[in-house]
Structure 1
Amino acid sequence: MRSKNSVRFRFGRNAVMQSVVGGIVASVGLELFLHPHDMIAGGMTGISALVSFHTEGHFGILLLLFNLPLLLLYAFMGKTSALRGVLPGLLAFAGSALLLAPFPAVSGEPVVAALAGGFCLGIGAGLAVKSGGLLDSLGLEKGDRIRPRIFVSSAPFGPKRLFVLCHGAVLVLAGAMMGWERTLYSALACIAAYETSALMLWGFRKTAWVMASKPDEILQEVRRRINMDGEVLSEERYGDEDRRFVLKYSVHVLDIPRFKAAIRHSDAKAEILWINRAVREARR
């Protein structure tokens, strides 16, 4: 039987690889589609690109420098687990951007470049967040388990509006510095990136009913690994001491392997019943 430490190591290794792949895919969208056309993304990524365009500095190095305050805040608060989730994807993002910077644009059409770049950026950001990391310190999202809660809970108008405000401010700054035509293409890329990342995070799901005798352990383990909450539907008794609980989860198709691993790790005798119906969860 595999020990808990070996299971956790394999889970951590898979999460790191997913975050690294996300960083590489995001850099492909930026360096091969957006940046050759002087387009930017929102958030700290966009600020780094603006500074890079006007100083001829390397985007990857600037990205690390501008995200450094957040990393230092994590270290100061003792959030070492968050650092382990953030660093692999961020380093892969910055490093692959440095390697891809000399390559020419894949497409010469600005609209195609904006859509393709936003698509790649959304996939990369979604993979990074699903693995417990992030690629941009200004990408404030509800339910984020990485940033300190004060970043999203103290906003008087909610994290979603704060997200729009941050990225809108970067686009307005880009319009003033680079012209509004390129900024409109950049806005199109941001919309494509946001919708693609939303599909990665909240898109096609399956409903899972879990019958288990250790519901508390399952709820805690799934929450820790996938940042997902379940619902206890009912309790059934089989004799005086044998009790089985029915839990309900809405699981993204990309999270199914990690979900199964979390269930097996918490309760080896648990049974999972899948409802083969893909649903799209309403974004809040």
Structure 2
Amino acid sequence: MPPADPITETGGAVPGMAGLARGAGPRSDSPDPGGVSGECGRADGHSEDAMDLRLPDDLVTPAAVDALGPPDGPGSGGRHQEMDRPPDSSIETGAPSRPVSVPRHGDLLDRVAEWGPADTPAGAFHLVPVRLERDLPLISRWMNDPAAAAFWELAGPQEVTRDHLRAQLAGDGRSVPCIGVLGGVPMSYWEIYRVDLDPLARHYPALPHDTGIHLLVGGIADRGRGLGGMLLRAVTDLVLAQRPSCTRVIAEPDIRNTPSVAAFLTAGFRFSAEVDLPGKRAALMVRDRPHRQVV
């Protein structure tokens, strides 16, 4: 369950959370990706109890797709920052039933490809669903950065990252891997997933449509600038705006990753509990949908 641990901008301990790191032993097998998934299950796509939805594939903002370019084109340089990725233990592997180069975006996440851009102080930000043939070299390079490898546990040949992505792309739409494009430059990897359909839901009182986020910021040049918290806030705003049935966004960074926890706090999340997941002890972070004011 490793993803969910951004190597964020601050390096110090989180104010008021000094006790969080106590007792956090080494994790066994799961990484923590981008901030919301934790150690419990993966956000990717188990198909055990999900519907088989097949919806339009080519629903990506053209400008954001153009920014990605070919795998080795502009913007694919080795920038890398990790926020936390989803646990590997929950991802299923196996032969896909359809071409994995074409992601499936189902109603399980309200069509992430159609969410559109988010305005941020650093420029327009797009979530562009991953296409394996285009994005694998870039994502694999990011995963092999030592800082990311420590929490995502996807270092090694491209096949390691490919299998991780393929499990989601060939799944039922409960997890959508994306490239984050900021100001026209691909600079981060995200996983948006249904926590209520993920093994993580067994570890806390999950609500229907709880949505999780994993984030890995791709390069050293993007670290230490406050981008992690800013982008987490922007993407969480998108989730709550585009998924009216979702009342809260969940994240489960490794409790030892204080920069990641700090980024979530900056993005408006609150620390809810310590959770023992299969591969780590996680900080369960929650951002609730604001209540509408009754006039």
What is the TM-score of this pair, normalised by structure 2? Answer: 0.32
Higher RCO, 1 vs 2 (CA within 8 Å, ≥6 residues apart): 2
Structure whose residues are more often strand by fraction = 2
